[in-house]
A and B are shown apart, each in its own frame.
Chain A
Amino acid sequence: MADSLTTAPIPTETQTQLFHYVVQLADTSLILAHRLSEWCGHGPILEQDLALANIALDFLGEARSYYQYAAELEGQGRTEDDLAYLRSAVEYRNPLLVEQPNGDFAATIVRQFIYDTFHYHLLQQLQAGPDTQLAAIAEKSVKEAAYHLKWSSEWVIRLGDGTEESRRRVEQAIAGLWRYAGELTTPNPTEKELQAAGLVPDYTAMLPQMEAHIARVFAEATLPVPQGVFMQKGGKDGRHTEYLGYLLTELQYMQRTYPGLTW
């Protein structure tokens, strides 16, 4: 697998863009994994605590695969750990959605449902894409992403069509988080160029399927799909909400306090 790049040389500029794109995927999975792991020991019931930790672990594994590939693309001797632990908040490329705080269980579920819907459809495209390493990572992760999406979809339905309290909370979560959904499928300059070169999936092709899934789940949950929401963006270009800095302080604590520490 490591030979994929040497067999078909890519111009350096494209390789740099691809590096940024892969880091974006890696950061997104890492930050979401970290948020989900914050639930460990605090889940509403044991089985859901386990579910959250399991999903966090899947994202962490996916993040590692992307970071390893990014380090290889960059070819500057940085490792997956350097990329994950030794960059500042402005260098992180994750969309704003995944850094949002856990809030209550409903907020975590809505954040997860929005991301899982995008993630599952993205991986389906990536596994059929021209980059063999991204395709291999996607082929591995899409099976896990299907379990995640089933889980978060069922919870949106339970909460929406549940009790008065669960509905109030899930409505509140949607009102707070929907503004971050648009960034996922809005390409930034790097993505635009890579999409034009046919190297990464074109989001417009994924949208109908994503919207159909959201419509179906929300209909079962008796929730209206939000319309005309002004979408926030910036995370993919390094402009983050205040929450990311606090998250990184904790995530990077060991490496910042004891540089070069290993197990």
Chain B
Amino acid sequence: MRLRTVAALAALSLAALTGCGSGSGSGTGTSALRIMAPAAPGGGWDQTSRTAEQAFKQADPKRKVEVFNVPGAGGTIGLAQLAGEKGNGNLLMTMGLVMVGAIEQNKSKVTLAETTPIAKLTEEYEIVVVPAASPYKSLADLVAAWKTDPAKISISGGSAGGTDHIVAGLMAKAAGVDPKSVNYIAHSGGGEALNELLGNKVSAGISGIGEFAEHVKSGKLRALGVTSAQRVKEVDAPTLKEAGLDVELANWRGFVAPAGLEEADKKALTDLVAKMHDSQAWKDAVAKNGWIDSFQTGQQFADYLNSEQTRVKGIIAELGVVS
């Protein structure tokens, strides 16, 4: 009967699409490595996870690797699931700065303390732009106007409490503007925010360099500054520091594993990630996506994670976006 055929097809394709999670035994060795992308397919964490999957396969062709998605609430749903896998040495979760913010913002019961930091992989920097028709020619112009009347300077960017908003908050602090008074127009992503900038509806915009670079090159947007320590090659713009605001921020991504790992498991995972990082497939992907390689493992990454948590916690509270 037709419907049955359809149902069978449906079940098959479902199985294929959801990747039919196979067993995840503990211990190291030959069992499959699973990578959790704590976001829907298509986003940055998903992309990082799937790129890493390919690189893992090149680094160790014998090892089975699979990516699965646990979307929701800035990655904190995935984090909660990871917390339930205590001691599992075959599981990695892709995460990054956005998750640090989401944990604070959603008052997540599970925090990064319940994970084992494995490695930081990449960084991307943020860019501050104004529409081409804007009266503000430099960051100093914008800051001067901002100080006079913060409400009049509308800043378009991604979700409330996300990386773009954090940059806006740090900039306000550095400029001596109360972060709570920042008139931030939140969007579900950089694309939507871009529309308001191209239509000259808002005063300024903040997003990842990749989102705006093309439009800066074509002259539709003017770049006022980037959040990196040194100038970047993609756009001709000063760093925020050069332009007068002491703000530096990297939107970083990395891997954590469940808590309670055996020392041997932790070392095996770290070594495997290091091997993945050295593979040609990973190097090519980093270059192609315009990521900055910022590989860090062990205590170094754990310390970095700690300092980021303190910094983000402070600014999220000052922006008043804690729910």
Q: Do A and B bind each other?
A: no
